[in-house]
Amino acid sequence: MITLPVFSLSTLMAPAFAERNCLESQITLVLTELGSRMGWLSDKVRADCSRWTSDVLKRSLNSKLDVLLPKMNLPGAVELFVVAAVTDEIGGEAITKRIREKLDGSKEIVQADLTFSTCYWTLPAVQRNADESMESFVERVAAKIQESIDERSSSRMVTI
């Protein structure tokens, strides 16, 4: 199981739900994997590439409904980044396409001899109960997001 760094996922997602006062929302998760073919040249190069990738991902987001979650620190030559977006599959596809266009062939990727992949998946819409507070609803959605990220990350760990 992969656990995201210490932060409150529900706190990060709350503004997206407040922006879109809704009883039912689809969440699309976009996972970007950044890897080094031959291992990172140094911790500084890894940190620089990670920071650059985070900046690219932030610029790929289109609205207050998209949230770049804190980077997952993994051992080895891979960095994982997750965007949680209050959108449907079409929106997830658009975010993924923007990310791929910005990363594909970029000088930073080429110079550091990095690989990347980006994929997305949409969670089933979570129904908000009529008597449920927004805070409780967002916490429930955050738990579903964490569970889905754990499942995806665990299955990816086999190939990393």
Residue 101 has which token pair?
A: 């266009």
Residue 9 near residue 145 (C-beta atoms within 8 A): yes
Helices (H), 20-133: 43-60, 89-103, 107-111
> Do 13 and 160 contact (CB within 8 A), yes or no?
no
Give the percent of the chain with pLDDT over 90: 24
Report domain extents, the chain.
24-136
Q: What is the pLDDT of residues 23-45, one digit of tens each?
A: 567 889 999 998 887 777 788 88
Compute the Cα dihedral for 123, 154, 139, 72 and give only its sign. negative
Fold of 24-136: Alpha-Beta Plaits (3.30.70)
Whether residue 37 contacts residue 114, with contact meaning beta carbons closer than 8 Å, is answered with yes
Q: pLDDT (tens digit, 9 = 90+) per residue, 92-124?
A: 999 999 999 999 878 888 888 888 999 999 998
Q: What is the pLDDT of residue 68?
A: 92
Radius of gyration of the chain, Cα coordinates, nearest whole angstrom: 16
Residues 41-59 have pLDDT tens digits of 788 888 888 899 999 999 8
Compute the distance between CA of residue 1 and CA of residue 33 in angstroms, rounded to an integer. Answer: 17
Rounded to a whole number of angstroms, the distance between the first and last alpha carbons of the chain is: 14
* Sheet architecture: strand order including 24-36: 66-68, 78-85, 24-36, 114-127
How much is the pLDDT for 21? 55
